Structure 1
């Protein structure tokens, strides 16, 4: 059975912050970024994680990219992380509560950093290059995944990891049931939460929970079809994971809030606008 994604009362309550809390009560999200000239996607994800309510966010980049990112960041912290060994050392800090990687990472860096991030056994969001890097050896990736990992592919990335399931989706046309069955099979095969992005975004867990956010008709937000919007979504989910949300709740709430931010902005939005729209979305929700 496919349930519609909505902000339940417990999720809405969890989005609020206690008046007596400090920043570490709301988690520390670590976002992995790429090399020089590739930093925009990581910065979008990091800012989204901070706007969604993570208490702290650090963007970890190669040392040669520190100066470029330092010129663009204020509230987001910055750390030089050259390799997987260094990432493992950074993740020895138990206060880092979730990791996101993939946007702008580059395939060689992704192949090194994904196993290091998964080794630390923190909730992880894998997007973009963190998925495509394992197209030729999907079992290497799937063998390291856990139910607290969230994969956020668009259809092209989904096809790289699950070519047979993508072919089944294409054969079935626009039928939502067929797409949902394929995403459910992907979640069972990978052992992780799988979120297939689209106008009808589907979230599936390894144990068979299925949910859809139908952003069509009156709920449509077509202006989200813009470069960087998916990076923002990955960061939003990472921020919610850092705050302690269960993986499926983080994925579903992230999708809902992402679409709501897009609708609130309307025509002409670009990815940079989406994190900045979240305070208004929260106010409208009474959060």
Structure 2
């Protein structure tokens, strides 16, 4: 039986700003948006990354989405790109990048994943950027390293790792992390976080109120925000999963994904050692 994810495991590792901190010292997070009709997921992820402490968050979008996003973003910055090479150039200064939420099931998304892998930023790969590789998972795994994080729900997991869930969620997550060569977050009522080599924890504070559209986009942004602050990828995934569920518990019935980023400050406040 794997250990239960608990703040005692990672609370002392959370990145708190020093007295002399500035925004660049607190980490830079990029979030890749989909097209003009698919921008909400990136906004959710970006706001969550900012709330969890990244000093600078920038959404990267196709040109057609720029005029949709510009009036809706405030502290989160914005830049547009037309090619994967332009995206890689924009992402070069980033410490972490989230790609996948509403990114589109297109070859352009595959090219964007490959381009981001060359930047050195830690990647959080979710949603469309997982499903896109269902018939060629090796192409995705070739882009990954130990610092990257995959965040599939069971449907996305089955597409990338067909048949593994028959072994049970914990064994499946460990094997998948080994195959992918990175951190694996298998989402669900009891989310499993696993590393290559067999380290595994199970989240114990899951909330049914997270069963709502967009909550996974918020989680991706939370993980990305901690990665941008140079938290270890496994610890960042464990911390974000627990805090995500704790935020949902605090709100309770009626929760929608838009509520979650605003709850992060209270969760962090209870974890803050100051």
What TM-score comes out, normalization by structure 2 length?
Answer: 0.96
Q: Which residue of 2 aligns with 1:107?
A: 105
- For 1:49 and 1:74, the matched residues in 2 are separated by 14
Aligned length: 272
What are the Cα deviations for residues 151-183 of structure 1, in whole angstroms up to 9, with x where unaligned?
Answer: 0000010011001213x15xxxxxxxx210011
State the Cα deviation string for residues 220-268 of structure 1 (Å, max 9, x = none): 5111100000000000000000000011011000001000000011110
1:213 aligns with 2:203: yes
Deviation at 1:9, TM superposition (A): 6.9
C-alpha change, 1:13 and 1:189, in structure 2 (3 Å) is: closer
Q: Secondary structure at the match of 1:38?
A: coil
Mapping of residues 1-287 of structure 1, within 5 Å: 2-8=2-8, 11-12=11-12, 14-93=14-93, 96-108=94-106, 109-166=108-165, 168-169=166-167, 178-215=168-205, 220-286=206-272
Secondary structure of the corresponding residue to residue 211 of structure 1? strand
2-structure distance, mates of 1:274, 1:30: 19
Give structure 1 stretches of 5+ with no counterpart. 170-177
Give the match's secondary structure for 2:95.
strand
Offset of residue 279 of structure 1:
1.0
Work out the CA distance in 2 between the residues paired with 1:100 and 1:179: 24
2:35 and 2:62 in contact (8 A); partners too: yes
CA–CA separation in structure 1 for the residues paired with 2:11 and 2:189: 23
For 2:183 and 2:9, how far apart are their aligned partners in 1? Answer: 22
Q: Structure 2 unaligned segments of length 5 or more: list them.
A: none
Displacement of 1:281: 1.4
SS at match of 2:89: helix
Cα distance in structure 1, aligned partners of 2:104 and 2:247: 28
Aligned-partner Cα distance in 1 for 2:81–2:246? 34
- Measured after TM superposition, the shift of residue 4 of structure 1 is 1.3
Post-superposition CA distance 1:100-121 (Å, at most 9, x none): 1000100113212111111112
CA distance in 1, matches of 2:175, 2:10: 28
Partners of 1:11 and 1:249 within 8 A in 2? no
Quote the Cα distance in structure 2 between the aligned partners of 1:16 and 1:159. Answer: 37
